Amino acid sequence: MSMKISVVGTGYLGVTHAACMAELGFEVIGVDVDPHKVRMLSEGHLPFHEPGLGELLRTHVESGRLRFTTDYEQIAEWADVHFIGVGTPQRNDGHGADMRYVDAAVIELATRIRGKALIVGKSTVPVGTARRLHGLIAATADPQADITLAWNPEFLREGYAVRDTMTPDRLVLGCEEAGSEAILRQVYARALDAGTPVIVTDFETAELVKVAANAFLATKISFINSFAEITETIGGDITVLADALGHDARIGRKFLNAGVGFGGGCLPKDIRALQARTSELGLTHTMGFLAEVDEINLRRRERVVRLSHAMLQDQLVGARVAVLGVSFKPDSDDVRDSPALDIAVRLFNAGADVLVYDPEGNKNAAERFPRLFYANDLAEAVANADLVLLLTEWAEFKALVPADLEQLVAARRLIDGRNVLSRSQWEEAGWEIVGMGQHY
């Protein structure tokens, strides 16, 4: 008999996981407390932009293999395996993770399951959570129920969510209870058969792999951005430096792109949550370097604002500034903690006339900051601009050549916040172009 799977939480992680599980041939029900989202998903509409996921969702909703509900009753007894993929946002009162949704999901399930089931945590959580949830399940579950818990962190990137889920770099299975590893090996049989490395470990290690990976990536980005601050001051080419460093296989070239810094719903909040958690554990200094990583990252935004003032000879008030890109990275409409959007808002607050264009992110950005002007296309955004900022490296921006813009703008000034354009090509066409890490 085929395994039945529920996925609790239909955000980025949940919908991707649910659709990919259906693609693997399982019967899947996604659960969410938000009836509007459930209705959209049930009709096959993806509520966010993610390449390839919309098609997968539609295919499996149509085939009937993938359904969505708001009703825990419908899934608690039905599914053999329950994946928890709800959010763990930054808490309002500080930097720790808000565990309210994870706890609620586990209690909703534990109090309803009567038979045998495996609950699998996928959300990014503070270390120690799985062991605490294990206690919570024991305290709230029906004495007849046979519930086991496992921790299986998710490493997918936005923009590559389907690929990362179907063919992950590795699988981490925090399995301490009898039977849970065998079930997860069955769930992930296709990836395992294809040779995906698997790490079977305890709860704490499984939880830590996830936060350590994100902390490492954030550190790598801030590391190169700290060198950008040096080259901005004394000269030198940050991209050449990154290329040269990257040839050392121990370092690697990936995540060494200097720019406006990291954003999104994961890296910034995860490094803050890790600091908060280690402090709770009495390790006040252990993750202290992540405070620096965060600060270096936020200084990138100031750098672009200062550069804008300088390039406009301090005539920012009333200047028309075109902002290309507001999502936190290309191929995503996600504007959570987006450096690009933050810069656009700072320039607006400083008195600039800001025109924003993002191929997918305008709508989400407009919900957060309705006072910015959102252009329908690139030409509208750059029309009569005194300064153009390229802040998110969408393919359509990377492909820009001077001739695309020069008849439209008022002045040939450009900040390349992602170092994706050829400086010499633009300079030859009479542009003043400044990249990240460049002395100005």
Which residues of this protein are in contact with ligand UGA, per CB under 6 A?
A: 124, 154-158, 214, 217, 221, 255-257, 259, 261-264, 266-267, 328-329
CA distance 85 to 67: 16
CB-nearer residue toward ligand UGA: 154 or 358: 154
Please name the residues in contact with 351: beta carbons below 8 A apart, sequence gap of 6 or more.
Answer: 316, 317, 318
Q: Which is nearer to ligand UGA, 271 or 319 (CB)?
A: 271
**Torsion-angle region of 437 (φ positive above 0: left; ψ -120 to 50: alpha; else: beta):** left
Q: How far is the CB of 262 from ligand UGA (least distance, A)?
A: 3
Residue 372 or 420 having the CB closest to ligand UGA: 420
Q: How far is CA 370 from CA 111, 349, 352, 354, 362, in A?
A: 43, 13, 15, 12, 10
Q: How far is CA 22 from the centre of its chain?
A: 23
- Catalytic site includes residue 266: yes
265 within 8 A of 337, measured Cβ to Cβ: yes
CA dihedral 133, 139, 145, 151 (to 10 degrees): 10
Our CB check for ligand UGA shows the closer of 42 and 226 to be 226
Residue 226 burial class via C-beta count within 10 angstroms: exposed 0-12, middle 13-18, buried 19 and up: middle
**CA angle (345 as vertex; 339, 349 as ends), nearest 5:** 140
The catalytic position among 21, 266, 381, 415 is 266
The least distance separating ligand UGA from the CB of residue 418, rounded to whole angstroms, comes to 8
Closest CB to ligand UGA among residues 99, 156: 156
Q: How far apart are CA 85 and CA 188, in angstroms?
A: 17
Is residue 173 classed exposed, middle or buried when 0-12, 13-18 and 19+ CB atoms within 10 A define those classes? buried
At its nearest, how many Å lie between ligand UGA and the CB of residue 149? 21
- In angstroms, what is the minimal distance from the CB of 433 to ligand UGA? 19
Residue closer to ligand UGA by CB (options 232, 353) is: 232
Shortest Å distance, C-beta 172 to ligand UGA? 12
Q: Which amino acid is at 416?
A: D
Q: Among residues 169, 101, 159, 96, which one has the least CA distance to residue 133? A: 101
Q: How far is CA 207 from the centre of its chain?
A: 18
Q: How far is the CB of 410 from ligand UGA (least distance, A)?
A: 29
Active centre residues (catalytic)? 266
